[in-house]
Amino acid sequence: MEEERRIIRMRHETRRRTLTVAAREQVTPNLLSIRFTSDELHDFISASADDHVKLFVPDAAREGERPPMRDYTPRSFDADEGEIVIEFALHDDPGPATAWAMAARPGDSIQIGGPRGSVVIPDSYDWYWLIGDETALPSIARRIGEWPYCSIYALVAVTGAEEEIAFERRPGLTVDWAHRPAAAAHDPAALLDRIRDRPFPQGDGFIWIAAEAGVARALRQHVLDRGHPPARMKAAGYWTHGAADTTERFD
């Protein structure tokens, strides 16, 4: 059983690929989905739902400088069809990648690099908690879709009911939403309040956390203090309040 539950770390060949915008969909007022196509995706690999690619933002660099780079999770991809979907959490004062996505139209192009590697969490645990904010929603949604038979509790912090997305109802899946204003996205209270008195299910479980760095750190410490084994958890700060293009890993 321990072998079945071993996390697998994979490395991938990295190179740049040029993508073309094929379609865009406003999933919620603050979640934009863009479907890209490219013949260069025929050998694209993303083995884990929280992989990330780097977007090289065009037209945002000064002459002689490298273009700004930002990390995003492939929401879905089809190497055979040469398609990849990336979702963008929209917010006030957008960074270069978000600003590009908001203005992008079919036919526009952008380059990506990676993923450099994958950390593959096995689907053989008795239960899973997936906890995050808007920036983690693509990873959470992808993992729910890829694990149709797993027992999953997903908790996502968003600004309101209009930002909730629909998941297909199925046995073993519980989706919970914590509402808080965008200005409080770096405050862990909304998520902590939902899990503080929630008991761990029976059996061995895995907890995945991704949010603002301070929020992810507080959530990780909370579940550790409750006795959850650190080897059965993966936590990351997908962004840092007050700092641009900053991520943190806590495992």
pLDDT by 10-residue block (mean), the chain, 251 residues: 79 94 97 98 95 89 76 96 96 88 96 95 96 96 96 98 93 97 96 96 97 97 97 94 71 65
| Boundaries of every domain in the chain | 8-117, 121-250
What is the rounded distance in angstroms from the CA atom of residue 202 to the CA atom of residue 238? 30
Say what the pLDDT of residue 23 is: 98
CATH architecture designation of domain 121-250? 3-Layer(aba) Sandwich (3.40)
Say what the pLDDT of residue 94 is: 84
Say what the pLDDT of residue 251 is: 65
Say what the pLDDT of residue 133 is: 97
Say what the pLDDT of residue 249 is: 73
Which fold is adopted by the domain 8-117? Elongation Factor Tu (Ef-tu); domain 3 (2.40.30)
Say what the pLDDT of residue 57 is: 93
Reading across the β-sheet that carries 109-113, which strands appear in turn? 69-72, 53-56, 109-113, 16-28, 31-37, 83-89, 74-78
**191 touches 112 (CB < 8 A):** no
Please provide the DSSP assignment of 120-186 as one string. Answer: E--S-SSEEEEEE-GGGHHHHHHHHHH-TTS-EEEEEEESSGGG-------TTEEEEEEE--GGGTT
**232 touches 205 (CB < 8 A):** yes
Torsion angles phi and psi, residue 237, rounded to 5: -95, 110
